[in-house]
Amino acid sequence: DNGGYEHYLLKEISEQPDTVARTLRGRIDDRFHIAHLGGLNMDARETRSFRRVKIIGCGSAYYSGQIGAQLIEELARIPADAEPASEFRYRSPVVEPDTLYVAISQSGETYDTLAAVQELKRKGGRVLGIVNTVGSAIARECDGGVYLHAGPEVSVASTKAFTSTAVAFALLALHLGRVRDMSPADGRRICEGLRRLPEQIKEILTMEEQIRALAIKYAEAPGMMFVGRVRGYPVAREGAQKLKEISYVHAEAYPASELKHGPLALISADLPTVAVVPDDELLDKNLTTLGEIRARHGRILMVGHRTADAADDCVVVPKNENELDPILLTIPLQLFAYHAAVALGRDVDKPRNLAKSVTVE
């Protein structure tokens, strides 16, 4: 049932205040500023023993894993990185006993991710699953994990599972951090930030008309560039992915810092840029990048926490803690892709050539 929405995709985007609240429910401890994740099946000693975290997933799950890796590095100070599960399983990875492996899947049935988990298990790897579908193949194969509780996701392009996965990673990072070096004060800051998310998402959803108008304006371009630095980069990648998947507009995502090392050659009046610019310690660097794009006559749609002279258009979202901002910055880009696809008359919920979950090799 699409709940009166024209498309499942819009329904699922609009559900996010609720789905994020469900991922958080019962998992924040305000007394000790820790996370309760009952399904991890790891004691405190084991939780402290990991020296690395490796995250795997496909498509949007992989991009949410990039946000997850940054959260774990920043909050728990454990080296972490994400890799497409498909690549991981084909390259004969070194499986280490002091690495925590985390597999992400909305459906829990993606074959590439499942095969990677099975390979890890065969080699003695400790694997957690961040999965939406209870009892799915990947959930069963893992040693423990975190369920998203986001409810069924019908539209092929992932939205609510993406934000819930990022939230689950924030909880996991809090959990790993608080049994290591993370202070109670930092723990409290993150707990409070997490609690603010549902209301802030609601606020972003009220901006739909503005974003729709921008999507109509920019959807005519033959292609778009998406840029972001560090925390903004996975957001840019997911924004480009959403646009490609459902509107078939060519989109590239680059780290803003890499622009001058190649893709700046593409920038012209014909290739607008979506710039993800959070108000964090990299703001000045990002604004300089916007100036470089503008000097090449590139139009700029900035998504961030303020307006900037260098940008043609700005979408200003509510600010949270720096580490949690990527979750919120993702949402305007979902709405942007959705309305671009509608404006172009695309089959939004069932884009050509794609399946909701790829259960074959």
Of 121, 217, 350, 356, the active-site residue reads: 356
Three-state SS for 283?
helix
Of 273 and 357, which has the nearer Cβ to ligand BG6?
357
Structure tokens at 12: 């699922």
| Interaction of residue 158 with ligand BG6, rule CB under 6 A | yes
DSSP string across 124-179: T-EEEEEESSTT-HHHHHSSEEEE-------SSS-SHHHHHHHHHHHHHHHHHHHT
Which residue, 50 or 62, has its beta carbon nearer to ligand BG6? 62
Residue 248 near residue 344, CB atoms below 8 Å: yes
Residue with tokens 């492996």: 101
Which residue's structure tokens are 């200003």? 316
**CA-based nearest residue to 275, from 254, 249, 261, 248:** 254
Provide, rounded to whole angstroms, the least separation between the CB of residue 39 and ligand BG6.
18
Instruction: Output 106 or 320, the one with its CB closest to ligand BG6.
Output: 106
- Interface residue with ligand BG6, options 105, 164, 247, 334 (CB under 6 A): 105
CB of 95 to ligand BG6, least distance (A): 21
Contact between 113 and ligand BG6 by CB under 6 A: the answer reads yes
For the bound state, the minimum distance from the C-beta of residue 245 to ligand BG6, rounded and expressed in Å, comes to 7
Question: Any contact of residue 207 with ligand BG6 (CB under 6 A)?
Answer: no
Closest residue by Cα to residue 161 from 147, 174, 179: 147
Residue with smaller CB distance to ligand BG6, 240 or 271: 240
| Single residue of 157, 201, 249, 277 touching ligand BG6 by CB under 6 A | 157
Dump the DSSP string for 56-103. EESTHHHHHHHHHHHHIIIII---EEEEEHHHHHHS-PPP-TTEEEEE
Q: How far is the CB of 300 from ligand BG6 (least distance, A)?
A: 27
**Residues of span 32-71 touching ligand BG6 by CB under 6 A:** 58-61
Element (H, E) at 120: helix 111-122
In the complex, the smallest distance separating the C-beta of residue 65 from ligand BG6, rounded to whole angstroms, is 10
Listed residue (22, 123, 34) closest to 76, CA to CA: 34
Kindly write out the interface string for residues 339-358 of this chain, putting x where it contacts ligand BG6 by CB under 6 A and - elsewhere: ---------------xx-xx
**C-beta of 10: minimal distance to ligand BG6 in Å?**
16
CA dist 117 and 104 (Å) reads 10
Least CB distance to ligand BG6 at residue 60 (A): 4
- Residue 107 touching ligand BG6 (CB under 6 A): yes
Kindly state whether residue 334 participates in binding ligand BG6, applying the rule CB under 6 A: no
Query: Near ligand BG6 by CB under 6 A, which window of 48-56, 120-128, 152-160, 223-231?
Result: 152-160
Where b means 16+ CB within 10 Å and e means fewer, 84-104 reads bbbebbeeebebbeebbbbbb
CA distance 327 to 166: 7
Interaction of residue 155 with ligand BG6, rule CB under 6 A = no
How many residues belong to the chain? 361
Q: Which of 34, 146, 156, 166 binds ligand BG6 (CB under 6 A)?
A: 156
How many C-beta atoms surround the C-beta of residue 209 within 10 A? 10
* 356 in catalytic set: yes
Place of tokens 């193949």: 137
| 14 interacts with ligand BG6 by CB under 6 A | no
The amino acid sitting at 324 is L
Where does this chain bind ligand BG6 (CB under 6 A)? 58-61, 105-107, 110, 113, 156-158, 354-355, 357-358
Give the active site residues: 356
